[in-house]
Amino acid sequence: MTAVTLKNITKKYGDFVAVDEVSFEVQKGELFGLIGPDGAGKTSIFRILTTLLLAEGGTATVEGHDVVKEFQVIRNKVGYMPGKFSLYQDLTVKENLEFFATIFGTTIEENYDLIKDIYDQIKPFNDRRAGKLSGGMKQKLALCCALIHKPEILFLDEPTTGVDVVSRSEFWEMLAKLKKQNITIVVSTPYMDEAKLCDRIALIQNGKIMTVDEPQQIINSFPKSLFAVKAKNIYKLLQTLRTEKEVENCDAFGEYLHLTLTSELADEEKVSAIAQKYNPEDLEVKKIEPTIEDSFIRLMREQNDSREPKEMLDGK
């Protein structure tokens, strides 16, 4: 059964098309990721699905209910954690939680099981005002408040942005636990490495969905052989390799360069031979499995190539 459907959803702000005929579905119980940079349209989609924003075109349903006609029903069924901290700063941890429980006609005790693991971590600060909490604790409180009415579906807009690696990994562990309790989760993130933690993902850029699939499927459908190349002066290697006709794309990826050749017949020997022309020190070449970020970059380039130059200049 589907928890969320979007059909040709379009949102404009003046002339700017923030969401451009977006269609996808999220199945019940799924952990679904919306992956893309700032300005891709993620927040607008979240706000449309949580009935806080009206789309100009298209239709969408949440738990089978239309986001326009049945917004009141939806509001009782969803939990929403906006990207910007939106709790009451001058209420304490406990007061915030009680407030949200009351609004939804429930109590903290009633759904305590659901929030216990997360709430336990902030409980020592029950009497602290939300505005005085650290970033990580604010995030946990916001998640508790979004969960307190036992929603069927949870919308988390960039919950891990600006958070360090350790807190990010903890947050994803919490999501995995919530998923086990059969809550559908739709989460957005600009961090491509978090994509593999989702059941399925949509890659979004400039208001358009570039692809929707399981992370591994997206990786498998990368059309070219991908190579990781490394040498001592890597920046120089990057610049020189890009001038080579046989090189299709070459991008920095941490300590390696990721490279594809224009030819379909590519192997490590061939890539080494091209790189050797520049006598790089300590050259290393290996064929690798693409990451989601490789796929994202490739799809972005395809999207850019198909756009008019004028539109490119205007940016959006």
Partner 1 sequence: MENKAIICKDLTKQFGDFKAVDKISFEVSEGEIFGFLGANGAGKTTAMRILCGLSFPTSGEASVAGFDVYRQQEKIKKNIGYMSQKFSLYDNLTILENIEFFAGVYGVSRPEIKERSRDLILTLGLEKEAKKLVGGLPLGWKQKLAFSVAVFHRPKIVFLDEPTGGVDPITRRQFWEMIYQAAAEGITVFVTTHYMDEAEYCDRISIMVDGHVAAIDSPTALKKRFNAVSMDEVFYELARNAKRTLD
Residues that bind partner 1 (CB under 8 A): 36-40, 134-137, 161-167, 169, 190-193, 205, 235, 251-255, 293, 296-297, 300-301, 313, 315-316
126/169 with CB nearer partner 1: 169
109/305 with CB nearer partner 1: 305
CA distance 277 to 280: 8
Determine the angle formed by the axes of helices 112-122 and 165-180, rounding to 10 degrees: 160
CA distance 87 to 81: 10
CA distance 20 to 23: 9
Q: Give the torsion through C-alpha atoms of 215, 216, 218, 221, to 10 deg.
A: 180
Q: In the bound complex, what is the minimum distance in angstroms from residue 241's beta carbon to partner 1?
A: 13
CA distance 217 to 202: 12
Q: How far apart are the first and last CA of the chain?
A: 35
103/252 with CB nearer partner 1: 252
Q: In the bound complex, what is the minimum distance in angstroms from residue 70's beta carbon to partner 1?
A: 33
Residue 3 in contact with residue 27, Cβ under 8 Å? yes
60/285 with CB nearer partner 1: 285
List C-alpha distances in Å: 169 to 136, 166, 174, 178.
12, 5, 9, 15
Q: In the bound complex, what is the minimum distance in angstroms from residue 137's beta carbon to partner 1?
A: 7
Q: In the bound complex, what is the minimum distance in angstroms from residue 303's beta carbon to partner 1?
A: 11
| Bridge-based pairing state of the strands 78-81 and 153-157 | parallel
Q: In the bound complex, what is the minimum distance in angstroms from residue 92's beta carbon to partner 1?
A: 18
183/257 with CB nearer partner 1: 257
Q: In the bound complex, what is the minimum distance in angstroms from residue 181's beta carbon to partner 1?
A: 25
CA distance 20 to 35: 16
255/308 with CB nearer partner 1: 255
Q: In the bound complex, what is the minimum distance in angstroms from residue 254's beta carbon to partner 1?
A: 4
205/260 with CB nearer partner 1: 205
Tokens of 95: 């007061």
